[in-house]
Amino acid sequence: GLAFPTDDPRYSGQFSAWTGGYRNADDRLYQSITLPQFVSSATLNYWWNMHTTDDEVTAYDALTVTVRDGQGGLLQKLEMIDNTGLRNTWVQSAYDLSSLAGQDLRVHFRCTGNSQYVTSFFLDDVSLTVCQLPTVVVYLPLVMQFGQ
């Protein structure tokens, strides 16, 4: 499947990413990043919005957010949002990735759906905020002793 830019709905700016919205959906988006080795914090933030014609009882369609290594192997499952959750409103998600410092990563979004009703998941303002540890230079005093 494909994800499309759309201007409605969007959280901010001109566009959001639209996944799903059709039967048997299977859409994937990812961004490759290199997380520096020495970080004090690394926070993944994104906004999501879900529209569905499915009921609120059984999970049929889902958006799964994972972090994968550079080759696509699963490192961490962050979130799974399904059609039983909040609808028609923007929700912010935030996750600490600092434990993955020093690695090549893929932030991966996958939307899956069944053959009955359709669910659309919209993503906007995906960001990674990284604070690196400062480089501290400590000058050590030299003790000089001269021969006696």
pLDDT class for 9, splitting at 50, 70, 90? confident
pLDDT on residue 3? 67
- Give the integer Cα–Cα distance in Å for 148 and 142: 18
- By C-alpha distance, which of 71, 81, 73, 78 is closest to 99? 78
**3-class SS of residue 49:** strand
Mean pLDDT rounded to a whole number for the chain: 89
DSSP state of 104: E
Lowest mean pLDDT among 26-30, 47-51, 129-133: 129-133
Longest dimension (CA), the chain: 93
What is the C-alpha separation between 126 and 117, in angstroms, rounded?
A: 27
pLDDT of residue 134: 75
pLDDT of residue 132: 86
Distance spanning both ends of the chain, measured CA to CA = 83
pLDDT for 146:
57
- Distance in angstroms (rounded) separating the CA atoms of residues 148 and 146: 6
Average pLDDT, integer, range 40-47? 94
Beta-carbon contacts of 99 under 8 Å, excluding residues fewer than 6 positions away, are: none
Does residue 52 have a pLDDT over 80?
yes
- Give the pLDDT of residue 139: 65
Q: Which of 7-11, 14-18, 52-56 has the lowest mean pLDDT?
A: 7-11
Average pLDDT over residues 116-124: 94
